[in-house]
Amino acid sequence: MLTLYHAPQSRSSRIIWLLEELGAPYEIRLTSIPRRDGSGGPDPANPHPDKKVPAIVDNGVLVTESIAIAIYLGDAFPDAGIAPKIGDPLRGPYLEWLAYYAGVIEPVMVAGFGGFADNPAVLATWRTSADVHARISAALAKGPYILGDRFTAADVIIGSVGQWMRSALPPGQVVDDYLKRIGERPAAQRANAKDNG
C-alpha cells in the first residue's frame, strides 16, 4: 500500500490529485505542519526529514519533494498515460517542465512573496515573474496543456499552483480557461473532496 502524508490545502493536495489521475491504490495519513497563522506544528509521525508534506511511502520506500514524487508515481503507473515514457519525444519536455517548476517557478514565486524578486542574485539566477509567465503563456498558446495536446503530471504540478494562487500564472483568458479545464477533471474533483482526509 502506498501512503501519502498529507496536510489539507498544502503542497500535498496536488499529490492527491496526481494519485487520483493515476488510479493508484493509496491511503492518506493526515499530518500536521506549522501554519502561517501559528496553528499546527510538526508531526513526529511524519517520516519526511524536514517534517514537511508531501511525503509518500511506497513498499517501505520514502520519497519526498513534489517533483520527485510526481516523476516516481507517473513512472510507477504508466498505464494512466500521464507521464511520457523514456523514448517518447515528450519525455524530455515533460522532465524539463517539472524541473522548471521546482527550479524556477517556485523560487520566483517565493521571491515575489518575500519582496526580494528584484534582488540581483534572484534576477541572475531565476529571472523575473514576467519571464516565467512568458514561458508558460508560450506553452499554453500551442495547446490545451503544458505539453500541447497531452495532459500530463506537469499540468497537475503547474496547474495546481495557479489554482492555489492565480497570480503565480500569467493573467488572461487562456490561463483562466486552462485552470477551468484541468480543474473540471473528475480526478481533480475527487481530490478536492478528499483534501480534508
Lay out the site mask for ligand GSH across 141-180 (x = CB under 6 A, - = otherwise): ----------------------------------------
Give residues 85-104 in contact with ligand GSH (rule: CB under 6 A).
Answer: none
Position 29 contacts ligand GSH (CB under 6 A): no
* Dihedral, 56, 59, 60, 62 alpha carbons, nearest 10: -30
Position 34 contacts ligand GSH (CB under 6 A): yes
Q: Is 167 exposed, middle or buried (0-12, 13-18, 19+ CB in 10 A)?
A: exposed
Position 133 contacts ligand GSH (CB under 6 A): no
Q: Are 154 and 101 in contact (CB under 8 A)?
A: yes
Of the pair 54, 112, the CB lying nearest ligand GSH is at 54
Position 182 contacts ligand GSH (CB under 6 A): no
Give residues 48-67 in contact with ligand GSH (rule: CB under 6 A).
Answer: 51-54, 65-66
Buried b (16+ CB within 10 A) or exposed e, 72-104: bbbeebeebebbbeeeeebeebbbebbebbeeb
Q: Are 55 and 46 in contact (CB under 8 A)?
A: yes
Binding span for ligand GSH by CB under 6 A among 46-54, 77-85, 120-128, 133-141: 46-54
| Residues of the shown chain interacting with ligand GSH in the complex, contacts defined by CB under 6 A | 10-11, 33-34, 51-54, 65-66
